[in-house]
Amino acid sequence: MVSLLAKCHLYCSSIGTSREVIYNCLEYLGHAGLLQNVYPQAEGMKLIRKPGKIFLNNTNLLHAINGSLKRDTGVGGVRETFFVNQVASLHRVDTHPETDFVVDNHYFIEVGGKGKDYNQVKDMQNSLLAVDNTPIGYRNKIPLYLFGFLY
């Protein structure tokens, strides 16, 4: 779903519409609860309308659509979809160039599997790892399922 934005101009020309119409549709699908649009971290005029990442609203939709299309649901997309779905209900979630997400302009989050290490976020203050397949957290490594309690 994320790669849709990179090819937006191709979709616009093939269906005979403008980027503005595409962005409006994405916004409407977000308001309808089908999509979760995550925007780049910015303030004021720097905040552009184009989402940084687009996710289906929840993992059930992701599995249902991919299952009906007989496509494999990538585990990385499922993890990020779950994280955004659970955290964005109460907090501001933005994309960040160095990590997967930034929450409330304060916490830098990298989402991954059990083997995810601190290399990507080691120099960042307030950085956390949200890791899957880990029953117990340690320091800034938090099991992904615990973010489900924020919903």
- Nearest-angstrom CA–CA distance, 38 and 67: 24
Q: Answer yes or no: are the C-beta atoms of 124 and 136 closer than 8 Å.
A: no
Confirm if 56 and 78 have CB atoms less than 8 A apart. Answer: no
Q: Distance (Å, rounded) from C-alpha 140 to C-alpha 130?
A: 9
Task: Evaluate if residue 3 carries a pLDDT over 70.
Answer: no
By three-state DSSP, how is residue 108 classified? Answer: strand
pLDDT at site 85: 95
- Do 55 and 81 contact (CB within 8 A), yes or no? yes
pLDDT score of 2: 47
Counting residues of the chain whose pLDDT is more than 70, the rounded percentage is 91
Q: Are strands 127-131 and 141-143 parallel, antiparallel or unpaired?
A: parallel
Which range marks the domain in which residue 69 is found? 2-150
Domain tally, the chain: 1
Q: Does residue 93 contact residue 107 with C-beta atoms inside 8 Å?
A: no
* 73-85 pLDDT per residue, tens: 889 999 999 999 9
